[in-house]
Amino acid sequence: MASAPFPPVAAAAASAPPRLAPRHPFAAAAAARRSSLSFRPAARRLALPLRSSAAAANPLRCAHRRAVSPRSRRRAQGFGAASDSAASTWGGAAGRDGCLSCFPKSRRGRSGLARFAPCALPHASGLSFRGRLSGAKVRPSHILRAAGPDEPHVASPTWSETSLDKPDLDHTISKEELEDVLNTPLPEHPKLIRGQLKNGLRYLILPNKVPANRFEAHMEVHVGSIDEEEDEQGIAHMIEHVAFLGSKKREKLLGTGARSNAYTDFHHTVFHIHSPTKTKEYGEDLLPSVLDALNEIAFHPKFSSSRVEKERRAILSELQMMNTIEYRVDCQLLQYLHSENKLSNRFPIGLEEQIQKWDPDKIRRFHERWYYPANATLYLVGEIDDIPRAVREIEAVFEHTLSENEGNPVPGGSPFGAMASLFAPKLPGGFAANLTGEKSPVTDKIKPVKRERQAVRPPVEHKWSLPGVAQDAKPPAIFQHELIQSFSINMFCKIPVSKVQTYKDLRSVLMKRIFLSALHFRINTRYKSSNPPFTSVELDHSDSGREGCTVTTLTVTAEPQNWRSAIKVAVHEVRRLKEFGVTMGEMTRYMDALIKDSEQLAMMIDSVPSVDNLDFIMESDALGHTVMDQLQGHESLLAVAETVTLEEVNTVGAEVLEFISDFGKPNAPLPAAIVACVPKKVHVDGVGETDFEIYPDEITEAIKSGLDEPIYPEPELEVPKELITQPELNKLKLQHKPSFIPLTEEDNVVKVFDTETGIAQRRLSNGISINYKITQNEARVGVMRLIVGGGRATEDSESKGSVIVGVRTLSEGGCVGNFSREQVELFCVNNLINCSLESNEEFIFMEFRFALRDNGMRAAFQLLHMVLEHNVWLEDAFDRATQLYLSYYRSIPKSLERSTAHKLMLAMLNHDERFVEPSPHSLQKLTLQSVKDAVMNQFVGSNMEVSIVGDFTEEEVESCVLDYLGTVRAASSPNTEERIEKISFRPFPSDLHFQQVYIKDTDERACAYIAGPAPNRWGFASEGNDLFNVIQRSGADAEISEPVNLDLTGKKRIDVRSHPLFFGITLSLLAEIINSRLFTTVRDSMGLTYDVSFELNLFDKLDLGWYVIAVTSTPSKVHKAVDACKGVLRGLHSSRIVERELDRAKRTLLMKHEAETKTNAYWLGLLAHLQSSSVPRKDVSCIKELTTLYESATIEDLYLAYEHLKVDDSSLFACIGIAGAESGEDVNDDEVDMDLHGMAPMGGRGLSTMTRPTT
């Protein structure tokens, strides 16, 4: 699981991106404030119609999405080309569509192949907006975010009226008086309802209007893997599976449009349902049914032998699937960090040998011991208008629920008080020993009492890294493995959680954030040479509810040969900041940015998705933090900001860094652990493969040597207030005379406005097309995307990789005009701009997210203008970009999934390198001039389209468009279509239609990918065939799509088969149905896998597409699993689709569409290609009629589209990957050079230890 979004408003746009920010100046504002706090699932992407070709999470198009950050290990597994990953690093989004996964949100998912969803129209998930200040993050600031109640917001009266009116406080106040004021409790969220039933069940209710007409119901049971005994490792996860999938009441909800799942972690098990408020057909209230299902799942499950056996098979498959090298690294980090307690050896997935042995009775006994109402909390967040009625429904369902042994005798008084409950569950039968040591006066008739939840969660004791705490220093630990590609080291400091409950606590959080933001930016400045000693340096300071502590982590990754220099630079920079502190300019800059950010969140208070609010509340309660809404948070921040001094910022910040800066000193806090994860072999030029040797004392010496380097204070940096001055702008306008021109030569219409959708279309005199939509989805926030036609498809045989490396080079440099990378970064920070640059096979994209306050939109347009007109190409940036892709390519053989996918893609697409990572041979041919030409030849007026969505006025947006885009120089349009070399699938017969990959590993794993041709989104197939001509010829004898019922929808009648989106719509529905059948057959009935998915890659411009089935299994079952997947794929004729399946697929996609239309990022994706000449079939009707098209589609329509999915033996390609000690053959081939090594992202802490999705 990954951290809970911070704050929830930001998560609505996107989750925090992985951090390679030191290399990307445009991204200073996007560096994620990641935390390891809340761990909840993120699901398989639903087959939504509205996904963007710019979306960063498309592994079929980009295996290099999640660059090299140690925290970003959930990267795509390699199906398709590496597109420029700058967007991921800066803020490219990974969607959290749905709630069906036990991966870290946004960074977890199935293998990269499985994370791409088919879509009728493109849609980009949002840009990360909040993670803009620092790669070094302080998590407790999540108190600035919570819910969005419906009524007007007021601050809690607990803060004095005077203080609220004058948050700057009186500067003459004494220290004692200031201390008293700061010790005032923070206000509680005004709309959060808390209660407790007589049986001990606690509940929380929060009204929230996003998404509309839906609510979240989560049952958190306070039991996890940490509560398991020695012979029960994995049993909490087993109960989660059996209880959830065995519930009949949950199954009855499936037809209502509800989605549900469950996950298990160290400290809790959570069952969650995302439901409409009422049934669509009869308008019946769904809350009682949802609560009833949760009651059955949590407290009344059926432990039938058949269900236990079925889930046992699924979990064993899950265990093998999870056992990647990233998972093993996570486990190693946790084992060393928490070596003194059970967190080091109670991973939620459990132990295989124990999972195989448990019978239903043993599982039931664990359930009886822990699953009782007093040990659970119910969360309801969403459109709950009648709170008293909701409370009555909770009481009606749960009031009489008692665990089977609720009345079991439990001893009364104990000198340990509430702490006695920590021990009670561990004794047989749920009894607790009499901890007083005295004999009870009545031993045969003990009065039954209700059990209470544990007082401390998780119930473990930590050894703290505090100054003066006497304990023996641990030598650095080393984890060495043949599948690790890079060097990474983690230095951990572990301290108790500081609860954020008063203004003083909030003030401390603010000061830490300012301090660590400065550290992140300073580290960026180290990336000036073409060969920096480290790949990334990150400092993370975060609370962890799952671990019950606050952990500060310094993570350094590097090429193995540079490990000493990397450590020295990192610790040297930390010591320099600790000793000299931040400057006044730095404090002022980051303070201002944090306040602006906070104000923006307060304005967006009613735009927070319910699930993000719920996650935040759950994690806050686990940590003991006060829950406020965004307005309260902003007012509180303003109140404390005026009291912060430079001296205190540096004092508080220095305390965070002491375990590094004072390393080796007698009274310094000892690191909780130092763990290096290293490869077994490295490549040495001129020598070849050599054993990599490293010893603990060498690591210690490198740390001390770096700390002994001389240090100097940080100079102040001049930050530009604008990139284009008014005189410069006036000169440009006189020179270019920007204006709007007719959209087409035939019509004299200079503006097209669609009243139904609110979409406006314009065209500038230099040829740039403009689409925009004004929304109030996110208050005073906007998003913008530049789309440039061409992409990697324009690469020829002599310039393979030129576009992707060129885009990366431009982002690596980060300079525009005369402004340095650092100045551009800080310009983005000051103006709350998040920017990304990326490419895929068809297009180059540049995306912005910005606040409209203080001319933020004009600042974003200025930056876009400067990139287009005054881009700077640096040789050292080219070297870094080349090395990045070289290293990534060389790491492919270390990954089972990526190796398998890479081999399949090369086979299917005839060794076309435009759809995979560029090889070392191709990279060596590139020059700075060649990559610059490859990119800039596409940046011409008529080949560019800009879309803008946000809470602005028509005057504001059109003024910016004319001023900053209208003044871009016009250039003739290249004919990119003519320059695209032919793309074709490998013809049959070929011995490459079925392949196998073997990787040597200490543990056994297996995966497989099955792929074949599909049409593109608009009905074009390979060789340029227009399938609409085929449909028209066959339409005379086929059933025509039924028109929509006008009484129900009010929509006009529509012929689906003649609509441009016919294939986008029908293939999306097919994908949902095939996915459902794969789960039911291959996983549930046959028990051959835990994870299987069907995904479509539908291009917009290129005349082709493909589908992929991704399946994980064991080496002994993987071949059967592949055959079973083929059977499902080809079985749609023998087992025809029924109306129930189609209705469910429609409901899923329509609900998703309805929810997403409340976000700016979704609309940005809808607007893409509206005026693109390379996507001629897209127009506004594709957006307006989307809902009608789904409702109108028939089973026969789906079969008509199915005929154009090539599933026969001559078209289908498959590749099986097997890892184990006995490898069948070497993974080496011509495409993957195993003699060359680079880096792969390692490090992080425990992000992959969470269990997988139950469904």
Q: Express each pLDDT in 808-839 by its tens digit.
A: 999 999 999 999 999 999 999 999 999 999 99
pLDDT level of residue 847 (50, 70, 90 thresholds): very high
Q: Do 490 and 587 belong together in one domain?
A: yes
Among the ranges given (241-255, 401-415, 797-811, 921-935), the one the predictor scored with the smallest mean pLDDT: 401-415
21-35, 74-88, 1153-1167: which is most confident: 1153-1167
Share of the chain above pLDDT 90, in %: 67
Q: Do 564 and 528 belong together in one domain?
A: yes
Q: Which residues pair with 673 in a beta bridge?
A: 492
Per-residue pLDDT for 308 more than 50? Answer: yes
Among 296, 311, 795, 945, the active-site one is 311
pLDDT level of residue 991 (50, 70, 90 thresholds): confident
Q: Where are the beta strands (DSSP E) in 928-991?
A: 944-950
At 382, give phi and psi (nearest 5°).
155, -160
Q: What share of the chain is helix, strand, coil (3-state, %, to 5)?
A: 40, 15, 45
Please give the structure tokens belonging to residue 524: 């960026």
Q: Do 345 and 465 belong together in one domain?
A: no
Does residue 58 form part of some domain? no
Q: Do 284 and 241 belong together in one domain?
A: yes
Q: Is 759 helix (H, G, I), strand (E, B) or coil?
A: strand
Does residue 813 form part of some domain? no
Does residue 100 form part of some domain? no
How confident is the model over 25-54, as a mean pLDDT?
30
Last residue of one domain, picked from the residues 373, 398, 423: 398
Does residue 992 form part of some domain? no
pLDDT (tens digit per residue) in 945-986: 999 999 999 999 999 999 999 999 987 655 545 578 889 999
Q: How many domains does the chain divide into?
A: 4
pLDDT (tens digit per residue) in 525-557: 666 655 678 889 999 999 999 999 999 999 999
Please give the structure tokens belonging to residue 708: 């002994």
| Alpha carbons 195 and 1006: distance in angstroms, whole number | 48
Q: Do 274 and 417 belong together in one domain?
A: no
Q: Is 407 helix (H, G, I), strand (E, B) or coil?
A: coil
Per-residue pLDDT for 99 more than 50? Answer: no
| Alpha carbons 895 and 484: distance in angstroms, whole number | 9
Please give the structure tokens belonging to residue 90: 């800066």
Q: Do 445 and 471 belong together in one domain?
A: no
Choice between 688 and 1193, residue whose per-residue pLDDT is larger:
1193
Q: What is the pTM of this model?
A: 0.82
| Alpha carbons 1095 and 1014: distance in angstroms, whole number | 11
- The residues, ordered by sequence, that sit 6+ positions from 113 with a Cβ below 8 Å of its Cβ are 59, 60, 76, 77, 78, 79, 897, 901, 1009, 1093, 1095, 1108, 1110
The whole domain housing 419 covers 407-449
CATH of the domain at 1203: 3.30.830.10
Q: Do 330 and 297 belong together in one domain?
A: yes
Does residue 948 form part of some domain? no
Q: Do 491 and 623 belong together in one domain?
A: yes
Q: Do 237 and 255 belong together in one domain?
A: yes
Q: Do 438 and 317 belong together in one domain?
A: no
311 catalytically annotated:
yes
Q: Do 1122 and 1025 belong together in one domain?
A: yes
Q: What's the Cα-to-Cα distance from 810 to each of 21, 31, 933, rounded to whole Å?
A: 14, 18, 12
Does residue 1206 form part of some domain? yes
Give the number of other CB atoms < 10 A from CB of residue 639: 24
Give the model's pLDDT for residue 1221. Answer: 82
Does residue 357 form part of some domain? yes
Per-residue pLDDT for 637 more than 50? Answer: yes
- The residues, ordered by sequence, that sit 6+ positions from 712 with a Cβ below 8 Å of its Cβ are 576
For 848, the enclosing helix (H) or strand (E) is strand 843-851
Q: Do 444 and 494 belong together in one domain?
A: no
| Alpha carbons 326 and 315: distance in angstroms, whole number | 19
Does residue 1140 form part of some domain? yes
How confident is the model over 159-164, as a mean pLDDT?
33
Among 232, 240, 778, 956, the active-site one is 240
pLDDT level of residue 281 (50, 70, 90 thresholds): confident
Please give the structure tokens belonging to residue 599: 């104000």
